[in-house]
Structure 1
């Protein structure tokens, strides 16, 4: 399975009856979390559903942290993202920009009919980031009574990642030390440890992105085969499950604070 779409957790939308969904949504300060991922190549060592799996796990962690005090549901993830730059490697299922934006809007429009006070769009793929930012404004405009937030989850690690990483700048990019560590912690059965391979990020423009945590001010389009032969960018050989566990829990700390503030603002 890509993710745990049907689960017994008390924050799982998919495991609820329609009456239970509405009961939670109608409570003061209720929050809907919508994870958005992708299906795209992640080198020789990680599955194509890595982004969707990770954002789904992170959404579940965030909800688990607050569910005893906050009315919250996590929707099944949108599993296909905007990934045309990965197409040369195969294994990728992509939506175009307008298609993904339309999917997000339609899912949200129908979900908010249940009465949620807050919406949290939680993104797990860098190629979706600008779209999720736009969707936050578009949905906020069309649903003025709902507090709408949008975030790419891994950006929250910028404040603490230097305490954990061993790679130099360029080692935590696509399929590198960061994502591989999280997968070794959460889904080690899906990591091909005998095939760990990546190329450090080397963007020729000095203003371009160097790493997940040094994105740079300049937007540059390149097909990923211009950066790497394996499909992975970064240093997955430095990844460990222990690093993944620490990253995961500290992301949970940040998201717990964020969701608590969202709830308190909407009561």
Structure 2
């Protein structure tokens, strides 16, 4: 999978085996693994939203880190999303199966000589799995720099320059994700059906927003938060905001990849 409307010079899937090995044997080489999900995002966004966005941000960040030898694998399209299944449209892996899948992809990619790996996650429900796979792959490959992040958390330093919604407006299918999708995949967005509500987390120490985390985790089915399956304020979304978010996220990820490459040398 490649970002719509453009090719990518860093896509693993477009390279020959010789090209992949040559990149892997360069000093400080990295393999970037986007991780998404197939889960409902309300009535206005496609179920592949998390996968499409993680993949696009991964390619942009990798292309901008053009001084680093790296390749971006095809995205892992299914994540851990049991809390979305009752609303329909969702496909989820069991936790242990997702962990094993990520380990297998990393293990075989690293056989091509890469010095480091970075998992770029696009789904909040995958975050704990990403933390775990960094540890398990790191333990199996002690000479490799193993890292992972959730891409939207990179927006923390600049999000207040862009957002208009109050806390709770940038959640699942809200201002943030809808803006990015309007920029990257406008043909897949149906704004007339953008029915959502602000996140109302009962725990004061729980997650309040896509970019406002909490110290307390809890579990509930998603319809307890939203009848439509979307949370936040998509009415404030725009392609212009999405373009700025995408541009700045690309710069942030490129900076991360350069740092990881330096550590991997």
TM-score range, shorter chain: over 0.9
Q: CA deviation at 1:4?
A: 5.1
Preserved contact between residue 38 and residue 82 of structure 1 (Cα < 8 Å): yes
Q: CA deviation at 1:126?
A: 0.3
Give distance in 1, aligned partners of 2:205 and 2:22.
49
Preserved contact between residue 57 and residue 246 of structure 2 (Cα < 8 Å): yes
Q: CA deviation at 1:3?
A: 4.5
Structure 2 residue ranges without an equivalent (≥5) = none
Q: Does residue 1:169 correspond to 2:167, yes or no?
A: yes
Give distance in 1, aligned partners of 2:195 and 2:93.
27
Equivalenced residue count is: 264
Give distance in 2, aligned partners of 1:152 and 1:83.
15
Q: Deviations over 1:134-179 (max 9, x none)?
A: 1101111110111011100000111111111111110000000000
Aligned match of 1:90 in 63, 70, 88? 88
Q: Does residue 1:70 correspond to 2:68, yes or no?
A: yes
SS in 2 for 1:159: coil
The aligned residue for residue 107 of structure 2 is: 109
Residues 1-150 of structure 1 mapped to structure 2, 5 A cutoff? 3=2, 8-67=7-66, 69-150=67-148
Preserved contact between residue 200 and residue 233 of structure 1 (Cα < 8 Å): yes
Q: CA deviation at 1:266?
A: 2.4
SS in 1 for 2:153: helix
Q: Deviations over 1:189-222 (max 9, x none)?
A: 1000111111100011111111011121000101
Give distance in 1, aligned partners of 2:133 and 2:101.
10
The aligned residue for residue 197 of structure 2 is: 199
- Root-mean-square deviation (CA), in Å? 1.3
Structure 1 residue ranges without an equivalent (≥5) = none
SS in 2 for 1:120: strand
| Runs of 4+ with deviation above 6 angstroms | none
Residues 213-224 of structure 1 mapped to structure 2, 5 A cutoff? 213-224=211-222
Q: CA deviation at 1:260?
A: 1.2
The TM-score, its normalising length taken from structure 1, stands at 0.96
